[in-house]
Structure 1
Amino acid sequence: MACMRRPDLPPPPPFSDDWALFLDVDGTLLDFADAPHRVHVDPDMLEALDVLHRRLDGALALVSGRSLEQLDHLFAPLRLPAAGLHGLEHRGDGPAAKPPTPLRTLRGEARTVALRHPGAVVEDKGATIALHWRGNPDAEPAMRALAEAAIAWLPGYSLQPGDHVLELRPKGANKGAAVARMLDEAPFAGRTPVFVGDDHTDEHGFEAVLAHGGIAVLVGDRQPSCARHGLASPAEVRSWLVEAAQP
């Protein structure tokens, strides 16, 4: 699918009870923080998600690079339908496969690099590893060099760039595949799919919902994108959800 530069994306259409709503988390529902564990979850947004989940008869899901365990911790007491680790984990599936030995070796090397660059973070997700430098932009060259070298001895893995992060994850796992899988299952099947996301990793999700006649909503001004609607920031996404949840 061709993605274009669309600097002035219109806002999403009015909320509809026949939607299947798929939401990215970091940079979409939550503002970025220097480290993944330092994000803030707004209580009003939690309440809105609960209301909308029930209004959509359960067809509201989180689709995130975070693990299901992390999502459940962040959004407690809610336990929403979800796909974690870019689709490697799905609610109801068994535990994720053990990471390969080379990935465990990389984890140690990455932590050594992070110690030399205070503020850099190595996020160990089990089957994937994310190298963050938002807290220390000077760490980017070292983190990027390590990740790019690691791909040579991690068969079946690819590099996924993001906002101040590089993630090593198995090939074939992406948010679009996760969305497509859920659209074949209740309660999502037969509804108009809507995906809201901000990052490069969300483009697969946009493509999936557009292929099903749905709505793709970009958060922020990243270009180019396949999205055809936009919201300016996570704060605007939260306001949009809270307003939609009003009786």
Structure 2
Amino acid sequence: MDDSTGVKPTPPALNLGREALFLDFDGCLVDIAPTPDAIKVPDALPRVLQDLSARLNGALAIVSGRSLHELETFLQGFDGPMVGSHGAEARGMTAPMAHQPAGLSELQQEMASFATRSGLLYEHKSHGGAVHFRSDPAQQTLVEGFAQDLAARHGDFAVQPAKMAVELRPAGFSKDGALALLSELSAFAGRRPVYAGDDTTDEPALAWAEDHGGFGVKIGAGHSVARFRLDAPSQLRAWLMAALEG
């Protein structure tokens, strides 16, 4: 919990024998970049994740809003479970969504056209899309209104606010739901969940970890249900390295 100043403490050392680790990607393992394809993945990161997974007996998973194929590209060398598209697609477990949601291509075309007209960035995703307003924050209200209208016309999708962006994701899927499914896998069963994330999209998963005997680690500034905080992805990576070296 927060101390008397409202500052959250740093997380305790990871217990490799008792805990399961779930990690967001953007803003958590890697720094946010001006565009989604401009992120820099440290060369050693996939190997660190692979080695840490081995020490955890396989109880490490990546849980992200990114498309699964992007995660696999950025983290080549890590072969553990991955969940993409906020839980709609996965590697290392039964795919949560058997088919793409109805109306996907039409929704993506509308989002791309809106972004072009507004001078904003459209991010294509395998199960949805996002409009980023980082380049023009004054358009936030306009983007949010467009997304709400689009979701109202495409019932298989839900609005997902994110950092300087608004996303349309498949309805009924979420990161906390992904944690619940992952925790049923043999590698994760009986372990305390530890989740690290930076965005509003991560808050349900952070709460899930707190509510199921583990804890959450908020990366960066902002209100969070997580008990612990680290200021930046570099600090999270150092925490992971400390677990390997301990």
TM-score, structure 1 normalization: 0.89
Q: Show the counterpart of 1:19.
A: 19
How far has the Cα of 1:200 moved from its partner?
Answer: 0.9
> Can you list the C-alpha shifts for 1:204-235, whole angstroms capped at 9, x where unaligned?
11121122100111111211x21001111111
How far has the Cα of 1:158 moved from its partner?
Answer: 1.6
Query: Are positions 1:93 and 2:94 aligned together?
Result: yes
Q: Show the counterpart of 1:133.
A: 133
* Structure 2 Cα separation of the partners of residues 108 and 90 of structure 1: 25
* Structure 2 Cα separation of the partners of residues 181 and 89 of structure 1: 12
Q: How many residues align?
A: 240
How far has the Cα of 1:135 moved from its partner?
Answer: 3.4
Unaligned runs of 5+ residues in structure 1 are none
How far has the Cα of 1:86 moved from its partner?
Answer: 0.7
Aligned partner of 1:104: which letter? S
Q: Show the counterpart of 1:9.
A: 8
* Structure 2 Cα separation of the partners of residues 134 and 73 of structure 1: 24
Query: Are positions 1:173 and 2:173 aligned together?
Result: yes
Q: CA RMSD in A?
A: 2.0
Unaligned runs of 5+ residues in structure 2 are none
Deviates more, 1:204-213 or 1:187-196: 204-213
> Can you list the C-alpha shifts for 1:25-67, whole angstroms capped at 9, x where unaligned?
1111111111111111012333321211110011000000012
Q: 1:97·1:127 contact (CA, 8 Å) conserved in 2?
A: no
TM-score, structure 2 normalization: 0.90
Q: Show the counterpart of 1:150.
A: 150
How far has the Cα of 1:21 moved from its partner?
Answer: 0.2
* Structure 2 Cα separation of the partners of residues 197 and 171 of structure 1: 21
Percentage identity across paired residues of the two chains: 36
* Structure 1 Cα separation of the partners of residues 110 and 156 of structure 2: 20
> Can you list the C-alpha shifts for 1:141-199, whole angstroms capped at 9, x where unaligned?
44323212112211132211010111112222111111011112110001111000111
* Structure 2 Cα separation of the partners of residues 213 and 199 of structure 1: 22
* Structure 2 Cα separation of the partners of residues 231 and 8 of structure 1: 11
Aligned pairs for 1:1-247 within 5 A: 7-17=6-16, 18-91=18-91, 92-94=93-95, 96-101=98-103, 103-118=104-119, 120-223=120-223, 225-246=224-245
Aligned partner of 2:25: which letter? V
* Structure 1 Cα separation of the partners of residues 79 and 136 of structure 2: 33
Distance 1:125 1:19, change over 3 A: same
* Structure 1 Cα separation of the partners of residues 60 and 24 of structure 2: 11
How far has the Cα of 1:138 moved from its partner?
Answer: 4.4
Q: 2:102·2:156 contact (CA, 8 Å) conserved in 1?
A: no
Q: 1:157·1:169 contact (CA, 8 Å) conserved in 2?
A: yes
Deviates more, 1:227-236 or 1:108-117: 108-117
> Can you list the C-alpha shifts for 1:90-121, whole angstroms capped at 9, x where unaligned?
224357522322x4223223222322444x32
Deviates more, 1:104-113 or 1:155-164: 104-113
